[in-house]
Structure 1
Amino acid sequence: MISHQERYDNWAPDYNKDVAARNYDGPDYIVDYLMELADAGKIPVSPDLADFKVLDVACGSGLVGQALQKKGFRHIDGTDLSQGMIAQAHHSGAYQTLMAWIDLNKPLPFFLHGQYDLTVCCGVFALDFVEPKSLSYLAQATKPGGTIIMSTKTTYYDTYDFDGYYKSQVDAGELSLVDCRMNKPYLGSEADGHYWVFTVPAKQENTA
């Protein structure tokens, strides 16, 4: 059976053309949602700051990075499991640094921990790709006080206990839920995506 990595390596040269034909709305929707919350002051996201760092996890061919770049973000890094997709993302010109062979089923490399003001993940929380616990790996990369924005396919949400997992992380003080939108555009005319925005709480100093 072909692996996800091999599948996307093979698909990479035609990926953008194929998803455009299917009206893949997820990347534009998630960035528009992000900016709506940022403009309303609900999340600390400032694309005009030169030192504001974004990580696009499972960046694929770079569609989210390009959408972020259009909104003025200057420092965008990307990771993906597929080397072929990373090559496509490089051609997009949206990223400063790109890293291949990064599997979101495993903790992110230590050098990425706590480095990013904003972590974005669109299209990966889908059936058979990752488990809900991968949300904690997104939090690893995010600075205390930083923001995570991500999507889940409706079929994923209905099949896995994502709701239960993120609530356990909130209860443990690892995340705070800022906002979510259910049954929104993702692929074509179907409202088959849920979108989630979290912040990583700043750790309290122990002054005792």
Structure 2
Amino acid sequence: MISHQERYDRWAPDYNQDVAERNYDGPQYIVNYLMELKDKGQIAIHPTPEFKVIDVGCGSGLVGQVLRNQGYHHIDGTDLSQGMIGEAKKTGAYQTLIGWQDLNHPLPFFLQGQYDLTICCGVFALDFVKPESLKWLAQVTKPGGIVALSTKTTYYDTYDFEGYYKQLQTEGKIQLIDCRMNQPYLGAEADGHYWVFSVKAM
């Protein structure tokens, strides 16, 4: 059985075409969702020159391209697959890209507390990461910053994601700002949940 890294390395050259054919709406949806919350004044994520974004599990760069189109220019990315990192580099949307990053483990120390917005789309899916990976997303986010992520409905139904994020809330580390359940993710079904948290202190 091949690893997730090997699978995505092999898939990288054809990934964009394949997911487009399957109507992968997650990247566009999560960014649109953030823009709605920004426009309502619920989160402060204005694309100033010093505003820093990290796209964790950036894949081929689909989220980065949507963010770039919204005026964000300092976008970094990480991914487990070096092949996907190569595809993301071609988009021109990212300043720095770091491969071989497994979100089942903490992200590199030099990224800790560096980002105003941490976004993670398509990673919290079955057999990829555990809910505890939310902690690693929060760790690279500045206090007062935002973490936005998607969870597949099957993931949410299988793992106790709700229980874990509520544990982090009780510990005073994050706060849920908003969530949208059963929204477009892949294909015709509304099979994704989207979450937006503020980070208190890690």
Normalised by the length of structure 2, the TM-score is 0.99
State the percentage of identical aligned residues.
72
Following TM superposition, by how much is the alpha carbon of 1:201 offset from its aligned partner in structure 2, in angstroms?
A: 1.5
Asked which structure has the greater CA Rg, the reply is: 1
Deviates more, 1:127-136 or 1:37-46: 37-46
1:29-64 deviation per Cα after TM superposition (whole angstroms, max 9, x unaligned): 0000000001111011011x0000000000000000
Report the secondary structure of 1:132's partner residue.
Answer: coil
Matches of 2:200 and 2:4, distance apart in 1: 33
Name the aligned partner's letter for residue 45 of structure 1.
Answer: I
Matches of 1:166 and 1:191, distance apart in 2: 22
Q: In the alignment, which residue of structure 2 is the partner of 1:25?
A: 25
1:151-184 deviation per Cα after TM superposition (whole angstroms, max 9, x unaligned): 0000000000001000000011010000000000
Normalised by the length of structure 1, the TM-score is 0.96
Matches of 1:202 and 1:163, distance apart in 2: 19
1:73-116 deviation per Cα after TM superposition (whole angstroms, max 9, x unaligned): 01000000000000000001100000000110001110000000
Matches of 2:175 and 2:169, distance apart in 1: 5
Report the secondary structure of 1:163's partner residue.
Answer: helix
Q: In the alignment, which residue of structure 2 is the partner of 1:166?
A: 165
Q: In the alignment, which residue of structure 2 is the partner of 1:82?
A: 81
Name the aligned partner's letter for residue 178 of structure 1.
Answer: I
Q: In angstroms, what is the RMSD of aligned CA positions?
A: 0.8
Q: In the alignment, which residue of structure 1 is the partner of 2:148?
A: 149
List structure 1 runs of 4+ shifted beyond 6 angstroms. none
Q: In the alignment, which residue of structure 2 is the partner of 1:189?
A: 188
Gaps of 5+ in 2: none
Give the number of equivalent residue pairs.
Answer: 202
1:95-150 deviation per Cα after TM superposition (whole angstroms, max 9, x unaligned): 00000001100011100000000000000000000000000000010000000000
Q: In the alignment, which residue of structure 2 is the partner of 1:206?
A: none
Query: 5 Å matches for 1:58-73?
Result: 58-73=57-72
Matches of 1:116 and 1:44, distance apart in 2: 13
